[in-house]
């Protein structure tokens, strides 16, 4: 009885949600009114078009998008995975036939997939059973054995969890026949996807200058700042505006901090922090001329750089200025953090990208990237690849482990003005009035872009992929556009990292937890793995550093260790030496050795000069046995 | 065109009603800065550990003289017995922190030894007054009139300094000028063993290898006896007086001794030419040592008015307990569940301490337990990181101890320097000897 009741309640909720979605589909024009822009007619229509096309609408006016998808989405392991309401019927009919048994080959493939995942989670080499067995100490051996067992189990659990629980599949766009993906228009894509996704494509025509945009960490909120002082925060997927205002001075860059309650805005005079209602919380006067902002969510550090070439870090939880570095090589033109190790990359007018950590007043890495000013920097989500754009019209892709260029650069028709890399490694480049999205441009050198978009006359000023969505945000001189890029975003989010569906309570608790786990700024290092790792070669490290330094200047093999004798030349020591009153055994030994060496050399000289056998040594020494 | 976009159903991703638990989605690959976060959490855990470190549980007051002997009943977590310098014996309830009953004139002199029989029904006391007495420990009948009359008593030839009991049989060992082994059924000792005529300060039956006795005598030696062969096995001479000995209950061959030279020494009975480890931290004579039932740690009480807790394999203590009122600690003991430590001191007080300073008492929520486990694992992994170690290891110490340790450190450095100079100016200096080997002066096999 209870079960039936619950089912009934769910169905009512479902219809309610359908209604809500239907409302959203008709919202874009409303949104424009809110933002004071004009409807240019590019969006708003997909709904009608799709309804006209027919065939893809579900019972409640809702698209049956998940039917085919879910079949593909369910991984081989996910026999227990929850099925959607549309897949439910299918599952039941299968049960009648009997449970499906995987074939042997399928099983083998599953096993291999599982083993690969486990290897990924085991993280590097582990001691072998034989090595553990060779440990002498019984307690240590048992500790190692149980430790390894637990570690293995943890890796297996994590792998199984990933294979079973990552039920969302990433998006894709494939051309059929003579089609080319880069020829697809946004309207084509919007027409072919479900209503909910189609609504993610919209265009906000705004008239307050070139726009800088930023999405919150969970991809839910969009902050946009127009050069001519227009600032707005919106929940873009629900099309609700949180606030909109004019700051009455130029806005250069905007950044949503750890959540949408705090917003950093680089204005002409100062750096300001606003809250989600547009209330000014702080005016950071020690960041004059900030033009580019970057935020490190794990460290709660807001970094700014500008024309003055000063890279400033401020801890937003305490308000303390952590570091103030002088970046040379001309004015700073780009600022991006490496998400893997929180190292800041600053692109300068001299074409140099320098990498900074708060601890060190000099860049930890300096790379000559472009013949001309750098215009943009982007990192892949694993931090292994960096892409840069410059006024020399090239886009260069760099390996951040080798600090080398990965392949020959892409050359554009115009210098790029914006660049971003999506969570799944898609590269978006804005140049002139165009945006190109490249799918496999990082690992290999792609020949053709994946998608191409023309802004119809508006110069692109900013690009940002939406986290956990297949959407690319585009800020231009004429407003903000949201573009559909299937396959760009990570489909499976982590509730503890960024949750698009978080409740107020969850956001508040998450904020507290993250503040407790705030990583100190001095823990930012270029090599992320040094912390907590064993330094097996600690004694030699100091020497190695000296050697490397010497060899980098004078060439390999030129370094000789200098054994400094500290205190040897103190006046008191000199006096003692002169007096010779302490004749330690070591001193005697050294003296004997030197004497013998001297004698041997003399003998060799005598041999060479006279051609005669040397006279026998009068005293036997440790070298006597070498003489014939 | 084949196209699909990420399109999540909000209903499926969130909870149905507000009374449900929130749905949690995991993708560990997205979690960045794992190690750094763990280090930070370890720092937090270390800080919280220190914040919640409230080791003192309470005091048992009632004795009118120094507490000289104590033991927990092996059959009850609650029952605890103490004997004092004025010959009084008290039976305590730990949970109530109250005396159940007392025997005011159990002896006419110091109660130097107190043991509870393995079945927990009787207990024995030994005293300077040259007598051993057996008493009833009947918890169901504690109001009986005869609880303060001994069941049996034995007379010894000499004043008794120490008492120990066999793990399973009614056999006692006492230390006086010699080691006497008593069978409860007989009026005189069944064996008498002695290496020398010096007083035996402490005697202890091995509770696993049950027929072996260790005895410390005032000629600075530790000797081992086997009661099956009625003979002395081995004897090792150390540098200073031994005040107490305790066998490791889980590693039958390891024994720890509390020495007058401020240190404790752990020996492997089979290899007596070298100490397994030297435990240095006290700044005055160590008076008592007792092992945890787990065999992983032990507690020591010292004349420097402090109690220290040690890991068996570490050279330094991980905990130092003290209060302003606690005087010289003469006796320490563990409770049977290893969660509490008890100390008896000169100020006639018996104090109860937690063996884990920051542990919470009472029932814990499973989530709190899981959190404690996680924090312990973090601390174990990152205890060597300076930011963690600084907080994790630091202990406030009384001024006197702090200064004494500082002075000792200076003296030690001076000694090392002096030794180095002496060696530099000696023709054939003797090889350096580590403190573990130096602890042993002579070995008689």
A353-375: per-residue pLDDT in tens? Answer: 999 999 999 999 999 999 999 99
pLDDT value at position A622? 65
Residues A388 and A498 placed together within one structural domain of the fold: yes
A-B CB pairs within 8 A amount to 145
Q: How far B337 CA sits from the closest chain A CA (Å)? A: 23
User: How sure is the predictor about A619, in pLDDT bands with cuts at 50, 70 and 90?
Assistant: low
Q: Average the pLDDT over A378-391 and give the result.
A: 96
CA atoms of B34 and A152, how far apart (whole Å): 18
The tokens describing B309, both together, are: 């807790």
Contact A193 B5 (CB under 8 A): yes
Smallest Cβ distance to B35: which of A161, A172, A531?
A531
Do A541 and A468 have their domain in common? no
Tell me: do A249 and A317 sit in the same domain: yes
Q: What is the pLDDT of residues A89-143, one digit of tens each?
A: 444 444 455 567 888 998 999 899 899 989 888 877 788 889 999 999 888 899 9
Question: Do both A545 and A409 map to the same domain?
Answer: no
Task: Establish if A492 belongs to a structural domain.
Answer: yes
Mean pLDDT of B152-161: 94
How does residue A615 score in pLDDT terms, banded at 50, 70 and 90? Answer: low
Is residue B308 within 8 A of residue B302, CB to CB? The reply is yes
A167 touches chain B (CB under 8 A): no
Q: Cβ of A520 and B40 within 8 Å?
A: yes
CA angle A45, A47, A48 (to 5 degrees): 70
CA distances from A447 to A438, A439, A440, A441 (A): 9, 10, 9, 8
Both tokens assigned to A383: 């931090």
A34 found inside a domain: no
Grade residue A538 by pLDDT with cuts at 50, 70 and 90. Answer: low
How much is the pLDDT for B299? Answer: 98
pLDDT of A597 higher than 80: yes
Are residues A588 and A441 part of one domain? no
Lowest mean pLDDT segment, chosen from A361-370, A608-617, B55-64, B378-387:
A608-617
pTM: 0.80
With respect to residue A129, please indicate whether it lies within any of the assigned structural domains.
no
pLDDT of residue A579: 67
Within a domain: A134: no
Q: Are residues A504 and A576 in the same domain?
A: no
Query: Does A288 have pLDDT greater than 90?
Result: no
Among A470, A495, A519, beta carbon nearest to B37? A519
Q: What is the pLDDT of residue A533?
A: 77
Confidence label for A332 from pLDDT (cuts 50, 70 and 90): very high
Specify the higher pLDDT residue, B383 or A3: B383
Please indicate, yes or no, if residue A59 is contained in any of the structural domains: no
Chain B nearest C-alpha distance from A420 (Å): 18
Distance CA B437, CA B275 (A): 6
Q: N- to C-terminal Cα distance for chain A? A: 110
Domain check: are A262 and A384 in the same one? yes
Cα–Cα distance measured from residue B358 to residue B53, given in angstroms and rounded to the nearest whole number: 4
CA torsion through residues A38, A40, A42, A45, sign: positive
Interface of B with A (CB under 8 A): 1-14, 16, 22-33, 35-41, 44, 381-382, 385, 424-425, 427
Residue B20 to residues A12, A360, B184, Cα–Cα distance (Å): 18, 49, 67
Lowest-confidence segment of A207-216, A618-627, B199-208 by average pLDDT:
A618-627
- Please check whether residues A370 and A498 belong to one and the same domain: yes
User: Of A497, A521, A576, A584, which to mutate for an interface test with B (greatest number of B Cβ within 10 Å)?
Assistant: A497
For residue A501, give the nearest of B13, B26, B385 by CB distance.
B13
pLDDT band per the 50, 70, 90 thresholds, residue A57: very low
Predicted pLDDT of residue A260 = 95
Rounded Cα distance between B109 and B210, Å, is 30
B399 three-class SS: helix
- Are A410 and A362 contained in the same domain? yes
Pairing of strands A280-284, B297-302: unpaired
The answer to whether A176 contacts B6, with C-beta atoms less than 8 Å apart, is no
**Per the CB < 8 Å rule, is B30 touching A470?**
no
Mean pLDDT of A598-609: 85
Question: Chain A 211-270, CB below 8 Å of chain B: which residues?
Answer: none
Query: Using the beta-carbon criterion (under 8 Å), do B11 and A13 form an inter-chain contact?
Result: yes
Q: How confident is the model at residue A78 (pLDDT cuts 50, 70, 90)?
A: very low
Q: What's the number of domains chain A is made of?
A: 2
- What are the CA-CA distances from residue A373 to residues A368, A385, A408, A429, A462 (Å)? 11, 20, 19, 16, 17
What are phi and psi for residue B438, nearest 5 degrees?
Answer: -65, -20
Q: Do A176 and B1 touch (CB under 8 A)?
A: yes
Query: Does ipTM exceed 0.85?
Result: no
Do A294 and A238 belong to one domain?
Answer: yes
Q: Do residue B1 and residue A173 have CB atoms under 8 angstroms apart? A: yes
Residue of chain B nearest A582, judged by CA positions: B425
For residue A200, the 8-state DSSP code is: T
> What pLDDT shows up at residue A27?
38
Q: A residues 511-550 near B, CB within 8 Å?
A: 516-520, 523, 528-529, 531-533
Give the count of alpha carbons within 13 A of B260, CB side only: 13
CATH number, domain of A472, equals 2.130.10.10
What is the Cα–Cα distance from A32 to A43, expressed in whole angstroms? 11
Residue range(s) defining the domain that contains residue A430: 182-512
For residues A503 and A562, membership in a common domain is answered with no
CATH classification of B56-354 is 2.130.10.10, yes or no? yes
Residue A283 has pLDDT above 80, yes or no: yes
């Amino acid at each position: 009885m209870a079960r039936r009741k619950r089912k009934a309640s769910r169905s009512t909720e479902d219809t309610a949600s359908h209604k809500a979605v239907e409302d959203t589909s008709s919202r874009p024009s409303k949104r424009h009114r809110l933002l004071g822009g004009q409807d240019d007619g590019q969006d708003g229509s997909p709904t009608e078009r799709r309804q006209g096309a027919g065939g893809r609408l579900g019972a409640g006016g809702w698209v049956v998008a998940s039917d085919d998808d879910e079949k593909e989405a369910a991984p081989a392991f996910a026999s227990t995975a929850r099925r959607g309401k549309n897949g439910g019927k299918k599952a039941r009919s299968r049960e009648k036939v009997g449970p499906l048994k995987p074939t042997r080959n399928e099983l083998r493939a599953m096993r291999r997939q599982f083993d690969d995942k486990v290897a990924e989670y085991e993280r590097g080499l582990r001691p072998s059973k034989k090595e553990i067995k060779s440990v002498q100490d019984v307690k240590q051996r048992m500790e190692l054995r149980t430790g390894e067992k637990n570690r293995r189990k943890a890796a297996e659990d994590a792998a199984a969890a990933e294979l079973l629980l990552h039920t969302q599949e990433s998006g894709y766009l494939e051309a059929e026949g003579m089609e080319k993906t880069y020829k697809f228009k946004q309207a084509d894509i919007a027409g072919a996807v479900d209503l909910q996704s189609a609504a993610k494509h919209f265009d906000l025509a705004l008239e307050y200058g070139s726009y800088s945009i930023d999405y919150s960490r969970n991809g839910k909120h969009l902050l946009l700042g127009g050069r001519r002082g227009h600032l707005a925060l919106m929940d873009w997927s629900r099309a609700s505006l949180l606030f909109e205002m004019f700051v009455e001075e130029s806005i250069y860059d905007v950044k949503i901090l750890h959540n949408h309650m705090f917003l950093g805005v680089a204005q002409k005079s100062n750096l300001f922090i606003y809250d989600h209602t547009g209330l000014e919380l702080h005016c950071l006067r020690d960041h004059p001329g900030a033009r580019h902002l970057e935020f490190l969510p794990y460290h709660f550090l807001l970094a700014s750089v500008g024309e003055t070439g000063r890279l400033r870090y401020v801890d937003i939880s305490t308000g303390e200025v952590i570091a103030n570095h002088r970046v040379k090589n001309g004015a700073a033109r780009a600022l991006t953090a490496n998400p893997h190790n929180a190292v800041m990359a600053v692109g300068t007018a001299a074409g140099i990208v320098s990498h900074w950590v708060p601890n060190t007043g000099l860049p930890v890495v300096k790379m000559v990237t472009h013949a001309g000013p750098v215009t943009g920097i982007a990192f892949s989500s694993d931090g292994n690849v960096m892409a840069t754009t410059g006024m020399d019209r090239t886009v260069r892709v760099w390996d951040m482990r080798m600090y080398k260029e990965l392949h020959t650069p892409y050359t554009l028709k115009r210098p790029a003005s914006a660049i971003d890399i999506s969570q799944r490694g898609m590269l978006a480049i804005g140049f002139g009035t165009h945006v190109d999205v490249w799918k496999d441009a990082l690992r290999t050198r792609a020949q053709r872009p994946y998608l191409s978009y023309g802004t119809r006359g508006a110069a692109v000023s900013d690009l940002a992929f939406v986290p956990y969505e297949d959407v690319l945000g585009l800020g231009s001189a004429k407003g903000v556009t949201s573009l559909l890029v299937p396959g760009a975003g990570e489909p499976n989010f982590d509730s503890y990292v960024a949750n698009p569906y978080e409740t107020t309570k969850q956001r508040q608790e998450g904020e507290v937890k993250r503040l407790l786990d705030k990583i100190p700024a001095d823990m930012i290092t270029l090599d992320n793995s040094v912390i907590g790792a064993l330094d097996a070669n600690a004694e030699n490290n100091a020497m190695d550093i000296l050697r490397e330094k010497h060899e980098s200047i004078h060439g390999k093999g030129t370094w000789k260790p200098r054994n400094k004798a500290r205190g040897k030349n103190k006046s008191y020591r000199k006096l003692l030496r002169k007096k010779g009153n302490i004749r330690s055994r070591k001193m005697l030994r050294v003296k004997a050795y030197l004497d013998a060496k001297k004698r041997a050399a003399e003998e060799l000289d005598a041999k060479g000069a006279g051609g005669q056998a040397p006279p026998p040594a009068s005293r036997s020494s440790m070298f006597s046995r070498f003489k014939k | 065109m084949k196209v699909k976009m990420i399109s999540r159903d909000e209903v499926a991703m969130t909870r149905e009603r507000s009374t449900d638990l929130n749905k949690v989605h995991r993708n560990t690959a997205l979690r960045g800065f794992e190690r750094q976060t763990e280090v930070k959490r370890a720092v937090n855990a270390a800080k919280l550990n220190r914040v919640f470190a409230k080791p003192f549980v309470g005091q048992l007051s009632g004795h009118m003289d120094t507490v000289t002997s104590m033991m927990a009943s092996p059959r009850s977590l609650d029952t605890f017995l103490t004997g004092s310098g004025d010959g009084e014996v008290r039976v305590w309830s730990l949970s109530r922190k109250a005396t159940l009953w007392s025997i005011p004139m159990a002896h006419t002199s110091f109660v130097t030894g107190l043991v509870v029989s393995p079945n927990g029904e009787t207990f024995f006391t030994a005293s300077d007054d040259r007598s051993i007495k057996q008493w009833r420990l009947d918890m169901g009948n504690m109001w009986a009139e005869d609880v303060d009359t001994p069941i049996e008593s034995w007379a010894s030839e000499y004043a008794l300094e120490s008492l120990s009991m066999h793990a399973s049989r009614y056999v006692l060992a006492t230390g006086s000028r010699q080691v006497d082994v008593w069978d409860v059924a007989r009026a005189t000792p069944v064996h008498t063993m002695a290496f020398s005529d010096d007083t035996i300060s402490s005697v202890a039956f091995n509770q696993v290898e049950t027929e072996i006795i260790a005895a410390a005598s005032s000629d600075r030696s530790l000797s081992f006896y086997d009661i099956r062969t009625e003979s002395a096995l081995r004897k090792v001479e150390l540098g200073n007086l031994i005040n107490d000995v305790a066998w490791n209950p889980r590693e039958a061959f390891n024994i720890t001794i509390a020495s007058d030279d401020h240190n404790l020494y752990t020996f492997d009975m089979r290899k007596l030419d070298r100490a397994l480890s030297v435990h240095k931290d006290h700044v005055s004579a160590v008076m008592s040592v007792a092992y945890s039932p787990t065999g992983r740690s032990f507690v020591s009480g010292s004349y420097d008015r402090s109690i220290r807790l040690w890991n068996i394999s570490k050279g330094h203590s991980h905990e130092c307990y003290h209060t302003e009122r606690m005087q010289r600690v003469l006796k320490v003991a563990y409770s049977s569940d290893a969660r509490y430590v008890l100390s008896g001191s000169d100020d006639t007080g018996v104090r109860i301490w937690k063996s884990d300073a920051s542990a919470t008492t009472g029932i814990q929520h499973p989530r709190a337990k899981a959190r404690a486990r996680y924090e312990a694992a973090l601390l174990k992994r990152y205890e060597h990181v300076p930011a963690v170690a600084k907080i994790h290891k630091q202990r406030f110490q009384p001024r006197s101890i702090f200064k004494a340790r500082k002075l000792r450190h200076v003296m030690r450095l001076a000694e090392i320097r002096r030794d180095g100079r002496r060696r530099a100016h000696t023709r054939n200096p003797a090889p350096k000897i580590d403190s573990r080997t130096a602890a042993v002066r002579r070995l008689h096999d």
